[in-house]
Structure 1
């Protein structure tokens, strides 16, 4: 039903579903592929080329024109580049989700490998699959997945328009970790673990808070009376101490700042 709603909308999907009849158990006829552009029902390279030429002449616009969305995402300096690239691929339909692969290679099943209940398109993968629903339910973001549109661009735009910077971070990192968790199921045959995903998202957020606090501390220390440390020298000292002992290195730097010589 989700797939019908995504393709035709709620009203038409309801009409279609009402007209679907259960299979006749007495009819043992086998299904067969038919090329409906041909009078014989058989596909030919010549006919396929002709249809492609007609589409080119009509210049049918793509429904996934995400130029505006990409400009917005690219302006989010608070999101790391690899996650921004992932968001762009998600919105442009470039992720190797089962439904996208099935359109190119019909032998690949379009079903979601996590739940096996619906075709795996973007909105199902990130919002409607039971595993994804559990992640959003136990996360910090108050996101009601049953209210999400079936179109991923509309869902993404609608949600991010209501969030502040921290909310957008939380939303983006959750999508990223959901995708990684889904890939572990499909490619490595691991169990989908919503708790692990939530923990990874929380680590992202804690890292952002720590980085923000460090930047504030840097600015305060550069203004301490009696110490003249240039921004370039400060950065070198921070990098050297941080690589050695992490937070302990930062504590050592704060204590020894007065002994730093030119």
Structure 2
């Protein structure tokens, strides 16, 4: 632009135009003269400079050719990307993702044909749809091992599943092969000839009794083929989130030297999350047990340039244990508290072990354990808050004031919590008729189902009871079967009710279950690979017969089916219970039939 201005100012016509316009309107007010001359000059310059430059452009030689333009705007090829990626220096400075050249080259494979080949075979095997228009895929070195270790099979015809080396049992475990067995045995060899049912005689001949129970409890897809599933997702489809959590658990399980068991951690977390304190205090205690509190020693170990000396006593390094137990201020607070601990950590335990030890001590040594645990957690929170106020605001609070504030906070929260609990219990007392079974309309039958479990014996039981609009029992059924989960048992109970409707040619029926997951699955509101195996054919029958509905009810409205399932699991029901019910069952039936009398 400046070159053009210089060209104009050196041009002879431009000079004449300026002189001519600036000499006009002599004798007027100087400001009016200046303004009018300026406007006239601007319009004249615009007219003078608005000339056709086509001839000038034609003689200019273009520096960017058509070939160069086509190269610039064409799509990037996989070869160019590969050359750019693998042309990076091994020690090149990392980008925002933290990866240098060697890490990128070791973990990324960009091959267009191979990418589509892998995804097509994966979608064919798993049934999961994938966007094949993406330009790359990342392979982790451990994903193949993790996939083989954690993926499982959903049994269909059993032709593709190796009995010994594939993961297909409902317990998500592999079967250890015995001596002198056929190692290439397929699961289809455990099925009855021409049927999709387990052959118990073959199974008991090949495996021990406990494994046989798990095999018999494994559900078989009645229509579909064998299918690879991801057992750590509810719908059986792999997701990055579930794969990440599975990989983390796999890494943690391989770590050695840990002194804490999973059962210990579970008890500690339950004590923390059930404590009667504010949610922010519970979160703080959890972080404290994980040593995730930003005391100065933790900050220094994370390469932050801080003085790791305790800001309170200025004597020792501020570790988590020092900040909350051994510091002079912490010792004063523990001694002045209701506990009066002169030396609260004689065994020199880590912070997590010390907190667990104190919780156990308070739970066993005091009658009001709930209140003292809450008081203990609030003291830890107050210690941290007081430390931060001193570090960032310069406020040095007296330990006596901290103790008084903690006691008030504990008492107020417990009083409020107890008041809410009483209010909830009072509001739950409603009309008795809201918790009783209701009969169906005339011409419709109501079928109540329920299930019970004996987990240690891998055994379940279901009950089905059919009643009319008067509350009279028309028919029913109870069964015992191999089972490993309550969800599986509840699904089989609904399946039995639907099969009964089909066998008895019932057109109008309401099936009621107190398992909401099964009810939502039957109404296409929930997906589960476990229920899909059990209820796939059942859902097809429900879709073909609009007169049969599956509804959810509360346990209080399902007491008859609940009683029958619990008696069935104990094998104490006589075979004549439908027309000659036992006393307890008769009382429940009368209560459902005449609720106002009870």
Q: Does 1:80 align with 2:292?
A: no
Do the aligned partners of residues 108 and 141 (structure 1) sit closer, same or farther apart at CA in structure 2, a change above 3 Å counting? same
Name the counterpart of 1:95.
293
Match of 2:371 among 158, 161, 166: 166
Once the two structures are superposed, the pairs formed by residues 209-228 of structure 1 within 5 Å of their partners are 209-211=414-416, 214-215=419-420, 218=423
Name the counterpart of 2:409.
204
Once the two structures are superposed, the pairs formed by residues 51-70 of structure 1 within 5 Å of their partners are 67-68=265-266
Name the counterpart of 2:317.
119
Q: Return the alpha-carbon distance in structure 2 between the equivalents of residues 92 and 62 of structure 1.
A: 17
Relative to total residues, which structure has the larger helix share, 1 or 2?
Answer: 1
Name the counterpart of 2:331.
133
Indicate if the aligned counterparts of 2:276 and 2:414 stay in contact, CA closer than 8 A.
no
Indicate if the aligned counterparts of 2:275 and 2:373 stay in contact, CA closer than 8 A.
no
Once the two structures are superposed, the pairs formed by residues 243-254 of structure 1 within 5 Å of their partners are none
Match of 1:147 among 341, 346, 349: 346
Cα deviation digits, residues 88-143 of structure 1 (max 9, x gap): 11111111101101111253111100001111111110111001111111111233
- Structure with larger Rg: 2
TM-score of the superposed pair, with normalisation by structure 2: 0.26
Q: Return the alpha-carbon distance in structure 1 between the equivalents of residues 256 and 380 of structure 2.
A: 28
Q: Return the alpha-carbon distance in structure 2 between the equivalents of residues 94 and 75 of structure 1.
A: 17
Do the aligned partners of residues 75 and 106 (structure 1) sit closer, same or farther apart at CA in structure 2, a change above 3 Å counting? closer
Alignment coverage as a number of residue pairs:
171
Name the counterpart of 2:198.
none
TM-score of the superposed pair, with normalisation by structure 1: 0.55
Do the aligned partners of residues 90 and 123 (structure 1) sit closer, same or farther apart at CA in structure 2, a change above 3 Å counting? same
Q: Return the alpha-carbon distance in structure 2 between the equivalents of residues 199 and 63 of structure 1.
A: 39
Q: Return the alpha-carbon distance in structure 2 between the equivalents of residues 79 and 123 of structure 1.
A: 22
- How far off is 1:204 after superposition? 1.3
- How far off is 1:150 after superposition? 3.8
Relative to total residues, which structure has the larger strand share, 1 or 2?
Answer: 2
Structure having greater relative contact order (Cα 8 Å, sep ≥ 6): 1
Structure 1: runs of 5 or more not aligned: 1-44, 50-56, 229-262
Indicate if the aligned counterparts of 1:127 and 1:148 stay in contact, CA closer than 8 A.
no
Indicate if the aligned counterparts of 1:99 and 1:120 stay in contact, CA closer than 8 A.
yes
Do the aligned partners of residues 80 and 68 (structure 1) sit closer, same or farther apart at CA in structure 2, a change above 3 Å counting? same
Do the aligned partners of residues 222 and 85 (structure 1) sit closer, same or farther apart at CA in structure 2, a change above 3 Å counting? closer
Structure 2: runs of 5 or more not aligned: 1-92, 94-99, 101-250, 363-368, 432-598
Q: CA RMSD in A?
A: 3.5
Indicate if the aligned counterparts of 1:181 and 1:193 stay in contact, CA closer than 8 A.
no
Indicate if the aligned counterparts of 1:127 and 1:145 stay in contact, CA closer than 8 A.
yes
Indicate if the aligned counterparts of 1:141 and 1:170 stay in contact, CA closer than 8 A.
no
